[in-house]
Chain A
Amino acid sequence: MSKLTMVEAVNLALSQEMERDENVCMLGEDIGVNGGVFRATKDLQKKYGDDRVMDTQLAECGIVGTAIGMAVYGIRPVVEIQFSGFTMQAFDQIEQNMARLRNRTRGKYNIPIVLRTPFGGGIRAVEHHSESREAYWAHTPGLKVVIPSSPRNARALLAASIREDDPIIFYEPKALYRAFREDVPDEPEIMEIGKAEIVRGGKDITLISYGAMMRPCKEAVNDLADDHGIDVELIDLLTISPMDTDTLAASVQKTGRCIIVHEGQRTCGVASEIIARLNEVVFEFLEAPIKRITGFDIPFPYFQVEEHFLPESEEIILAIKDTIDWK
């Protein structure tokens, strides 16, 4: 057991998976000698060689496109895109081939790629460095979308993603890369993809979030319990697609109320999908409209004002109180 940051936990997962399976390789910009701009791949090239940890050219579409071919050939590439905003350069290959080649070949070729990329705001970065566009990927048939929220689940979910035969967009909440440490077992650990986690049981209202937004949610939950006697059930989605509707529905069936929090833009966002599904299965248990606290439908603002764009615990507390009081 070691106390690791999320970025160290990501590094541990990558290292252990490369150790376990010689077909696991990595491609990305500055991931080798430099160890990645966030140091997530630190020392891995030294350990596994430049054939397996490949410093690529500056071409995201090229990285993803060639990784797809390698995957067809039986290799298991882990791709790092430096910032999720740059993934748009590779949209063509993700949509045309990564997500579809399995279907196009009726299962003849699997595409076991993990596309790791840091997402989200809060690090005072320039434009295109703070995006949360997970809804794009969740909207794309053939992809799975996984988003950890802590060092331990980042390691276990990344290891599980690398072992999956389907392509995965693995969004790493960069605001949490070095935000806190957590005990991570030294031995490899796997978490099932497609399962949400009930982080805290509660009876009054269900709060659903993922990624870096789990932090303000936890603060809000603690404040509400301490200061207002409101007992919140907090759920960490962990996998955006395929979504664990059952866990969400069972919780809302019990509490009758629900709030969803994410950084990504609101319209057609992940919260919209959650609300639609809850509406389908637990409509008759709802005591109040489901609320969403999300990024606004504007490009992520420049960093002087980013804290106003990102949901904070105060808004969450207010929304929960409103929903509890709704008549």
Chain B
Amino acid sequence: MAFQEHEKNKTTSSEEVVSPNTPSAMHTSPIDLGHIEVLQILNEHGEVDGGLEPDFSDEKLLGVYRSMVLARAFDKRMMTMQRQGRMGTFAPNIGQEACIVGQVTSLTKDDWFSPSYRSFGAQIMRGWSMEHLMRLWAGFHDGFPPPKDVNDLPFSIVIGSHVLPAVGIGMGMNYKKKKDCVLVNYGDGASSQGAVSEALNFAAVYKAPVVFICENNGWAISTPAKKQSGNEIIATHGIAHGIPSIRVDGNDILAMMCATKEATDRARNGDGPTLVEAITYRMSLHTTADDPTVYRNEDEVKAWESRCPIKRFETYLTNKGILDADSIEETVASCDEKVIQARDVFYAMPPADPTEIFDHIYNSIPEELQKQKEEYLKRLHQKGVDE
């Protein structure tokens, strides 16, 4: 479907590359990348492209809708809690819910997901409880490990450093002859990291079953995406490494679901990696420690308001006759309620255990570390922390 169409375009694009051995190569204009189209099924008015409309069940569509609303509700609550001083620094996802939720809709339990820090909407879908994610952002050690039966990596704070391990998991799937796949999410800023280029390279050479989602939200803190590369179309990074790559409207949930479905199918069929560049926009702050008015124009943000991923999906579902004003209200209210419940569970959870910070560095604690632990316990005792 849409993806194959895109593949054809890609071939056309590569035919235009002039061999550097021809004398005229240096004088050739840059390749025209303008025709690498962006896959869009649902436009910003919620109108569907009938030729591309996927055949997902009503139940699946409504479930995905609910996940997007929940991601936004979680986001809002976390912002409130942070401003109340009851949460650590937090990276909101508002405006990116289609991209974040859509990318994991075709993953199974045996597949792996390697999130970045703004992926909590996807993490919730993968089985992370919201109170667990609250622990994570509130600075508890037990918040970071993925839940017991969830095949995810924890996210890495050093931008892009999780992408190579994700590819390694894909290589491991090939090694163990499994038919699963791994999906890794990173941003436009991370696309500049050398380690991310190496990851694309390894995935391509070893035909690792990896889906790369480059969530291009326009900004890496204060640096606009166009400054991350001499060529602002990040999908071309995949093409350069021999990886089929596609650009997708990241605020179009149907496009996200379709593109990642095809990419995961390709991976499971042994056809190797795919790169999906999802074009979206960071409507809010980088994190709660950030003030974007310093570096970006509010007009730009306003222009993206009309492209809200949740609004347009609501229009589509309403036109489809499976959603109406009442059920929208009910969904929003019940998601808010669920987040409140998670918040209350989180507030009732035990305080951090300061004694366990030495216990997971090695499989068994070396003697010198044991001595340091005892010194630390003594310090806690002197401070009265252990009482």
- Seen from chain A, the residues whose Cβ lies within 8 Å of a Cβ on chain B are 25, 51, 54, 56-57, 59, 61-62, 64-75, 92-93, 96-97, 101-108, 110, 141-142, 144, 164-166, 194, 242-243, 245-246, 277
What does the 1/0 interface line of B149-175 toward A look like (CB < 8 Å)?
000011010100111111111111111
Rounded to whole angstroms, the CA-CA distance of A296 and B156 in the bound complex is 36
Known A68-B164, A104-B154: A62·B175 in contact at CB below 8 Å = no
- Cross-chain contact of B145 among A66, A96, A108, A164 (Cβ < 8 A): A108
Q: Which of B163, B172, B201 contacts A57 (CB 8 A)?
A: B201
What range describes how many residues of B lie at the interface? 35 or more
Selected from A61, A110, A166, A246, the residue in CB contact (under 8 A) with B164 is A61
Contacts of A142 in B (CB 8 A): 361-362
Q: Contact check, A73 vs B362: say whether CB atoms are below 8 A apart.
A: no
Beyond A62-B201, A66-B164, A104-B145, whether A165 also contacts B363 by CB under 8 A is: yes
Contacts of B166 in A (CB 8 A): 69
Q: B33 an interface residue at 8 Å Cβ cutoff?
A: no
A25 — which chain B residues lie within 8 A by C-beta?
Answer: 175
**A242–B368 contact, CB under 8 A?**
yes
B residues lining the A interface (CB < 8 Å): 112, 141-142, 144-146, 148, 153-154, 156, 158, 161-176, 194-195, 198-199, 201-202, 205-206, 359-363, 366-369
With the chains together, A69 CA to B170 CA distance in Å? 8
C-alpha spacing A61/B160, complex, angstroms = 12
B361 contacts A51, C-beta separation under 8 Å: no
Contact residues in B for A74 (Cβ distance below 8 Å): 172, 176
The 5 closest A-B pairs by CB, nearest first: A69-B168, A65-B164, A73-B172, A242-B366, A62-B198
* CB-CB nearest in chain B for A141: B361
For B371, the closest partner residue in chain A by CB is: A245
Query: Closest chain B residue to A67 by CB distance?
Result: B168
Residues of chain B lying within 8 A (CB to CB) of residue A59: 198, 201-202
Inter-chain CA distance A67–B171, complex, in Å, is: 9
Chain A residues lying within 8 Å of B167, measured Cβ to Cβ, are 65-66, 69
The contact of A106 among B153, B172, B202, B360, by CB within 8 Å, is: B360
Q: Are A57 and B144 in contact (CB under 8 A)?
A: no
* Interface SS of B by simple majority: helix
Q: Which residues of B contact A243 (CB under 8 A)?
A: 368
Q: Please name all residues of chain A whose beta carbon is closer than 8 Å to the beta carbon of B198 when the two chains form the complex.
A: 57, 59, 61-62, 65
* B195 (CB) vs chain A CBs: closest residue: A61
Beyond known contacts A62-B202, A65-B202, A74-B176: 8 more, CB 8 A cutoff: A57-B198, A59-B198, A69-B168, A72-B153, A73-B112, A92-B161, A93-B161, A108-B145
Q: What are 10 inter-chain pairs, A to B, with CB distance below 8 A? A: A62-B195, A65-B167, A73-B169, A73-B172, A93-B161, A97-B162, A104-B154, A106-B145, A110-B363, A242-B369
A194 surroundings in chain B (CB, below 8 A): 366
- Do B368 and A245 have beta carbons less than 8 Å apart? yes
Decide yes or no: A61 and B194 within 8 Å by CB, A69-B166, A92-B158, A93-B164 being known contacts.
Answer: yes
Whether the pair B146, A65 counts as a contact (CB closer than 8 A) is no
Tell me how far the C-beta of A107 lies from the nearest C-beta in chain B, rounded to whole angstroms: 5
A70 lies within 8 A of B144 (CB):
no
Give Cα A122–Cα B158 distance, bound, in whole angstroms.
37
Q: CB-nearest residue of chain A relative to B178?
A: A73
